[in-house]
Amino acid sequence: MEFLILGPVDVLDGGRAVPLPAGKPVALLRALLLSRNRVVSVDDLIDELWGEDPPETAAKALQGHVSQLRKALGADRLSTKPPGYRLRVDEGELDLDRFEQLVRDGRERLAAGDAKAASRELESALGLWRGPAPGLEERRLAALEDRIEADLALGRHAQLVPELETLVARDPLRERLRGQLMLALYRSGRQADALEQYRQTRRSRPSQQSRCSPGSWPRSPSAAAVARQRTARQTCAHSFSGSRTSSCSPVRGGAKCLLPSAASNAAASARAWR
């Protein structure tokens, strides 16, 4: 049996779709799959299905939904375990588990310097998604950023620019994507466009500030790679593009720069190019 939650909830048995009762039973199945092989309390399931104002008949209705799922999946799959229910999912049966394993493999390859294998593993992971999956989108985006990181390491800068522009337009405050777009533009010979991206980042949250080290960008290996092209002294010698809003002070092993929090990562990359 195969359980799919990276998109609409589906169950396959021998490659064929298992008919599922619509509505609450599907929502119940999703909640149980997210807590697979663990007991989920009746109270937690009622909260998941009905929120803060459940009907007085919620507990009885939940029993009915459980009964429907047992008929669809088999009684041995969904067991009653005080104080609630447990859904058994075997190894490899849930697409989310396969996704997370591929992502782990891809990240290990990337850390080991095998960008080609990393890109392949991460692309396979992302290929498991069939649509929006509430509560799991951050995992998809993080894997996507890692795949882009691998492609940047492979020199696919120009090919990445359109994809990154779309992603940044959709989520303009996602700092790592901003930094990756700036890097792709810069390495594609579009320094003016990269600079404009930096300026847009600076304008995104001008009133908020945080400290960052331009010699490193923990959340973005691409920015760290750019930073290694210049020393910390060069990085903080002048504020980028004549800006007077950053203050730099030497520290052991580099420099500390005060930057707007929304742009700190992207600014670290931009300064490193100078």
Across the range 124-134, mean pLDDT stands at: 97
What are the backbone dihedrals phi and psi of residue 87, each rounded to the nearest 5 degrees, phi first? -105, 125
pTM reported for the whole predicted model: 0.77
Place of tokens 């939650």: 5
User: Are the CB atoms for 8 and 130 separated by under 8 Å?
Assistant: yes
The letter for the amino acid at 35 is: S
CB atoms within 10 A of CB 206: 11
Q: Which helix (H) or strand (E) holds 54?
A: none
Supply the mean pLDDT for the chain. 81
Residues 250-264, mean pLDDT to the nearest whole number? 33
Q: Give Dmax over CA atoms of the chain in angstroms.
A: 69
Write out pLDDT tens, residues 153-172.
Answer: 999 999 999 999 999 999 99
Q: Does domain 2-87 have CATH number 3.30.70.270?
A: no
Q: Could you give the strand order of the β-sheet that contains 2-4, starting from the edge strand earlier in sequence?
A: 2-4, 10-13, 16-17
The pLDDT of residue 222 is above 90? no
Which carries the bigger pLDDT value, residue 40 or residue 273? 40
Q: What is the pLDDT of residue 257?
A: 33
Helix (H) or strand (E) holding 141: helix 137-153
Residue pLDDT, tens place only, 174-216: 999 999 999 999 999 999 999 999 998 888 765 444 333 333 3
Letter string b/e over residues 64-73, b meaning 16 or more CB atoms within 10 A of that residue's CB: ebbebbbebb
